[in-house]
Amino acid sequence: MRTPVPATVARVFDRALAEDPDREALVTREHRLSYAELDRLADRAAHALRDLGVAPGDRVAASLPNEADVVVAFHGAMRLGAVWVGVNRALAPPEKQFLLEDSGSALLLCDDDVPGVEVRVVPVAEWRQAVDAAPDAPVGVTVDPFAPAGIAYTSGTTGHPKGAVHSQWNLLLPGAVLVATRGYGPDLRKGDCLPLTILNVVVLTTLLVSQAGGCSIVMDRIDPEGVAAWVRDEAVTTWNGPPALLHGLASNDAVAPDDLASLDEVWTGGADCPEVIRQRFEAKFGRVVLATYGLSEAPTVVSIDPRSGPHVEGSSGRPLPHLAVRITDPAGAGCPVGETGEIRVGPADDRYRTMLGYWQRPEATAEVLVGGELRTGDVGFLDPEGNLHVRDRLSLVILRGGANVYPAEVERVLHEAPNLAACAVLGVPDERLGERVVAAVEPVPGAELDEEALRRHCLARLARYKVPERFVVVDALPRNAMGKVVRRAVPDLL
């Protein structure tokens, strides 16, 4: 049976509204909203945006904390047919200005003053007043589900970020497939602690949860004790977090195993999560950590471990059924099972459509959308059971003396060393070898790292040519809002 997908984001609450409009839909620090209340606020938000001068197709930018305001604004923008642009609150003013200029945003919803930003700024207090004053009625706009609806800006590993453009259909499809394949229902209480200014996170909150008729728990803390409190107090059943947070939960004595007892599922990035962190978390909490692989360009989840496991070491689970994942050589020909190549994602049936492209970047779009497939720029392989193993970014592969060194492989080994909290492996230019392997390493707070001990640790587990020739100990590695290391900033530490 085919998975039903709501016609537009405006229809995503319909099933829950028909079954039980008073069922809890959204919990934040300040609010508990039923489906009827959230639906009513979304209609008001659409009117409020129109009263602020936003028209269908205009870009609406938001730099808001994890509260009801950002959820309501997103759903209002979708009902108006506007295009959503999430702007991370942690970005510096010039970075925010670039996103606003590049997207041509009509206005910016924000909770603080943003100096140097040349766009109409609507503070959160003004936004709340506008929503309160708006009518309780549909805005009356016919929305094309295949038109641009959201722009997800990539992390910008090189140069300026690029905006992956998605339709409302694409934003709804991952949730529909995950709900159907994982058997979610009204008992789903999904917790998310990453910023909702990230479009992938929006896809995995109300757009997924409401299709199950469950409750979306939007957390306002991303520290181990704060996340544990949210999970415990709200009986969260499904939660996804970055590896660094899994490490913190597993190593923090103030977090008890019973704090996470309500969890049925724990997700994290498969390629990004060292197996040793996964093992420590499972040993403490008795919960299997399920691997995922996702992309801003997909959007979000491409592959995931089965709900009940098992997790295959080093893998990122199996591709979702609406996607066809191929491993290709440089010419685009398919690779045999088990052979490493570039990961490409295309449709397994007529439900899936690739992203619409990069916003106002036709040349960059043409480079990654080829023959109806998305060239991910990641390298990996499929094993005989169909599990996807992501090795690394194609652009990060270190070419040392003619041999390929995958930083992720070296980083997984380093994470098994004692007293190491995080690391980043990269290549530095070398006249003779082309590149040499270097590692920036971050110690556990209060601990020390010894370069020779790290080298011996790697030599016992890796071929000599893969072992870093230099270890640079840093107080902290730079990270983005997803908790991932910002690699473009690491060379400055060296």
Residue 309 lies in a domain: yes
Residues of the chain with pLDDT > 90, as a percent, come to 74
**Helix runs in 354-493, H state only:** 362-368, 407-414, 451-459, 490-493
Rounding to the nearest 10 degrees, give the CA dihedral for residues 488, 489, 490, 492: 120
Burial (CB count <10 Å: 0-12, 13-18, 19+), residue 384: exposed
Task: Judge if 354 and 473 occupy the same domain.
Answer: no
Residue 414 lies in a domain: yes
Q: 225: pLDDT confidence band, cut at 50, 70 and 90?
A: very high
Q: Residue 144: its pLDDT value, please?
A: 98
Question: If you ran DSSP here, which 8-state letter would residue 259 be given?
Answer: G
Task: Judge if 159 and 228 occupy the same domain.
Answer: no
Q: Residue 157: its pLDDT value, please?
A: 45
Domain closes at, from 371, 395, 419? 395
The verdict on whether omega for the bond into residue 299 sits within 30 degrees of 0, i.e. cis, is yes
- Report whether 198 contacts 482 (CB < 8 A): yes
Residue 200 lies in a domain: no
Task: Judge if 161 and 253 occupy the same domain.
Answer: no
Residue 82 lies in a domain: yes
Report the distance separating Cα 104 and Cα 389, nearest Å: 38
Residue 110 lies in a domain: yes
Task: Judge if 23 and 128 occupy the same domain.
Answer: yes
Q: Residue 407: its pLDDT value, please?
A: 86
The verdict on whether omega for the bond into residue 468 sits within 30 degrees of 0, i.e. cis, is no
Residue 209 lies in a domain: no
Domain closes at, from 146, 167, 188? 167
Task: Judge if 374 and 287 occupy the same domain.
Answer: yes
Q: 257: pLDDT confidence band, cut at 50, 70 and 90?
A: very high
**Helix runs in 81-186, H state only:** 93-103, 124-133, 168-182
Task: Judge if 60 and 149 occupy the same domain.
Answer: yes
Residue 173 lies in a domain: no
Q: Residue 158: its pLDDT value, please?
A: 46
Task: Judge if 390 and 420 occupy the same domain.
Answer: no
Task: Judge if 375 and 480 occupy the same domain.
Answer: no
- The CA-based angle 402-408-410, given to 5 degrees, is 70
The domain total for the chain is 3
Residue 205 lies in a domain: no
- Report whether 120 contacts 110 (CB < 8 A): no
Q: What is the CATH number of the domain that holds 419?
A: 3.30.300.30
Predicted confidence (pLDDT) at residue 245 exceeds the cutoff of 80: yes
Report the distance separating Cα 474 and Cα 477, nearest Å: 7
More confident residue, 211 or 161: 211
Report the distance separating Cα 417 and Cα 255, nearest Å: 23
Task: Judge if 295 and 329 occupy the same domain.
Answer: yes
Q: Residue 409: its pLDDT value, please?
A: 81
Domain that holds residue 71: 1-167
Task: Judge if 66 and 80 occupy the same domain.
Answer: yes
Q: At what angle do helices 243-251 and 275-285 cross, to 10 degrees?
A: 40
Task: Judge if 385 and 435 occupy the same domain.
Answer: no
- Report whether 376 contacts 345 (CB < 8 A): yes
- Report whether 109 contacts 69 (CB < 8 A): yes
Q: What is the pLDDT of residues 358-398, one digit of tens each?
A: 999 999 999 999 999 999 988 999 999 999 999 877 678 78
Task: Judge if 458 and 365 occupy the same domain.
Answer: no
Q: What is the CATH number of the domain that holds 82?
A: 3.40.50.12780
pTM of the model: 0.85
